[in-house]
Amino acid sequence: MPIEPTVFSQVMSFLPKHSFRRCVARYDGDRKVQSFTCMDQFLCLAFAQLTYRESLRDIETCLRVMQPKLYHMGFRGRIARSTLADANENRDWRIYADFAQVLIAQARRLYQNESFGVELDNTVYALDSTTIDLCLSLFPWAHFRKTKGAVKLHTLLNLRGNIPEFIHISTGKMHDVNVLDILTPQPGAFYVMDRGYVDFERLHAIHMSQAFFITRTKRGMSYKRRYSHPVEKDSGLRCDQTIVLSGTNSAKAYPDPLRRISYVDPDTGKRLVFLTNNFILPALDIARLYKARWKVELFFKWIKQHLRIKAFYGTSENAVKSQVWIAVSVYVLVAIIKKQLALEHSLYTILQILSITLFEKKPILQVFSEYEYSLPDVPDCKQLTLFDL
């Protein structure tokens, strides 16, 4: 009689196992390993992400109580807190970083036609970073302040599907603009950034790569206006200018013309001044693209609330990076499942359903089809009186 697979094993069946084995072999991850392999480590931490486990002891307890089901869920090694701690300390985090890139490439193909609010054929990325505070005495390698530690997640988010296509994990001391030295600009793509990334030499490198950038100007920027183009002020636009930088250092760093657009947000009344090297798109579309940049802020807020990346299962740099990359892999995997199964639920709802159904033995589509949520009918009555007067 065939055994019905658990929901957890069905979720993990969407993983490209052959690609994972190649990532492990690339860094000799299973070299001299007898029982607890890299796949076992990945499954443990993925389980922890999906069920919101808070510690290694928590992971060990929850999995051991389900010992008869573990083999059919894909686990081959014995689950022990000390074994998992050693794996987090010693297994190369690049295994999971490379595997996350495999999943990201798969998700990108699935979401390549997704709309993000602006009709544009080009790929649009939002670049930003978020800081995760750490205790410096427990994480002495994560330097940030004199008595404070932190790591930064520098993230390049594809606005089609909100898929993170590039993540660089650094200590809190690394300035945001330095990540532009690591990025390889994609010709024809748009890179939307806030003013913290304004460095004219680096922006010119993006321009020379035939990519486009959209950012905000800093105060005191010296420039000369060459042309002024007509704008519709009813839309919030105030000016659309072609300029050249006139500062001694900035003109040398960026000798080509730039486009300066002034826009007043009708919702907040705030005046925003954009800088871009794209002279083709309408000025209002440039403003809309910059507004879409807030999706990366929502992404950071979402993963901090719904994934385990603010509290860590190990204190070494390798353990932290392994956990972050496996968390990213789980996020992208859920996005892949959502698309391939044509689920209408949000990622949040999918994660909540999975968190309480992983050990059930029923088809995964049935799990989501049985879910129906509606607000309960609240009778129209007055609140009871607490005290008799």
Tally of residues, the chain: 389
Cβ contact 237:260 at 8 Å = no
Residue range(s) in the chain whose domain bears CATH number 3.30.1370: 194-288
pLDDT at 286 (0 to 100): 93
Cβ contact 363:381 at 8 Å = no
Q: How far apart are CA 252 and CA 254, in angstroms?
A: 6
**Structure letter (DSSP) for residue 379:** P
Among residues 349, 325, 337, which one has the least CA distance to residue 100?
325
- What DSSP assignment string belongs to 179-212? GGGT--PPTT-EEE--GGG--HHHHHHHHHTT-E
Reduce the DSSP state of residue 80 to 3 states and report it.
Answer: coil
Query: Tens digit of pLDDT for each residue in 145-190?
Result: 888 999 999 999 999 888 898 999 999 999 999 999 999 999 999 9
pLDDT at 375 (0 to 100): 41
**Structure letter (DSSP) for residue 287:** H
Rounded to two decimals, the pTM is 0.85
Q: Report the Cα 349 to chain-centroid distance in Å.
A: 18
Query: Tens digit of pLDDT for each residue in 276-297?
Result: 999 999 999 999 999 999 999 9
Pair type for strands 223-229 and 212-216 = unpaired
pLDDT at 300 (0 to 100): 92
pLDDT at 362 (0 to 100): 87
For each successive 10 residues of the chain (389 residues), what is the average pLDDT?
78 93 93 86 93 90 84 81 91 95 92 82 92 91 90 93 90 93 93 94 95 92 91 89 92 94 88 94 92 91 87 92 94 93 89 89 87 52 43
At the top level of CATH, which class does the domain 194-288 belong to? alpha beta
Q: How far apart are CA 352 and CA 298, in angstroms?
A: 18
Q: How far apart are CA 182 and CA 352, in angstroms?
A: 35
Cβ contact 310:82 at 8 Å = no
